[in-house]
Chains A and B, each alone.
Chain A
């Protein structure tokens, strides 16, 4: 029996390793797992780097930042990501005061472009009065930060100068909205639903509305560990893939939510956790749950496959906001963190769908489209950005140039 210690933050998208552990799936694959919960991404990262954990539920941009020496450690620790823990899964929530000023619908999801324009206008208004709107994200190197900035920038305000974007750990978001410390947030579930349930926030958008197949958390390993324990790692990926099938079966949602609700995991009511798992959200307290399209993809459409182009798009945003140098070499290094080759070799011979390509033009799929595979049948859902832009991984520098002009 080979053992994995896996670090995580209490979020719904930490579900796959938790369920692999709790359901006996890991056991079946000859693995034992211990889950190690921490309250900050810095500590999840440090435990991984210094070998207190073998793998970690990690923000994709943080894995890239750590690998490239762009984060606070200033140290280059090569990390690898052979498995994504899900696509999408974050919501943008504003305080009730801001929601009232924006007058957005709370019974159905408002159009994300219109909402963005309203929010950007309000932000500029506040900035002009000398009191900027303040948004919380979970980390500088997070898709939350980059998607929020992408949206605001495309809707007419400058995220650098018109708003303040600060870091607040997910479990404290509801408190921050309640006390007025922040006016809005972009955070993973269940923390927006917790804010809604406490009557301190209104969900105005999901990140899936901004980029319908957004790269999110991944399972990160130190590169040296992958090399030393390649077979173990591959067994773990098979267990996680199987856990994904289990979790995406609607018949199991109730059980899964109850496991996640336990104190050692998310420690929040199962009914709130179930929302993300069923792609249904409540936008304000006392409203009914409504469908939130593609809110969180944990398994279908080869959601766990690490597309190199996803890492490269994230890198383009790191460059855009001054977090990384805009070089071809930087793009290549970011792409190398994602390891589709390991994913394929781990899942070869199982019933998993294995895409043939390792990169795709992000944002180019408008309608469900068949994609080439090594095995299995793959239909990819729309992966468009709300502003209709595409990211071509063969021409990243052109994308950067167009971005600065925009």
Chain B
């Protein structure tokens, strides 16, 4: 493939990945790695390097806008990222000690249950009957944003902060052990356990994924997995796409975001169960 064709094609693909990533709070790796390897023939190492850059680009492009408009909650993000990074460090140490196939199976089953709960919540625009949580009050884990679609200000406060923190730690452990991104798990924990509005969950996840990706980006760089000619169109496309995605997401309902998120959870659940059974999709 000529460099010109490759650059233009990857730029367009990354634009789409950036839009989806910004709306759903995912880094884009779940979309970009299979596309780059299967459709463009990029080596897996270079694709992973491009993926880590796409996570940071999505995060920078989307979180800059979401933080300004109040959709992304900086305090919730920083509070939870402590658990995620601690978990990732624990997972990195446990890798090779604990059999990963059992973990993949357990994770797949947990994600299947999450998919089931997501289906049950599909029609819930905003969380109802959110009880008071001592930790949420103590750490000021609440906020208000203006919902363009609903044309009113939405105030919210986190529930079950301890449960969310533990779930984030678990997601970090699995992420560190299995080498998978954890944007989807962050969104699920904030949406299902902490009962934050879906749009706040995906927007806050966008801020968090940039931090966790930044921790490992240097490793990919020093290993030589980041090829400028492959990553450059990815970074430009994803950044532009992430900005577009924030504009689109602002006008969406929480229920629409959740409906778009559901196939990702189902795919991840299936993928993990198959990996646990020794079948790798990629």
The reply to whether chain A is a binding partner of chain B is: no
User: Which A residues contact B (CB, under 8 angstroms)?
Assistant: none
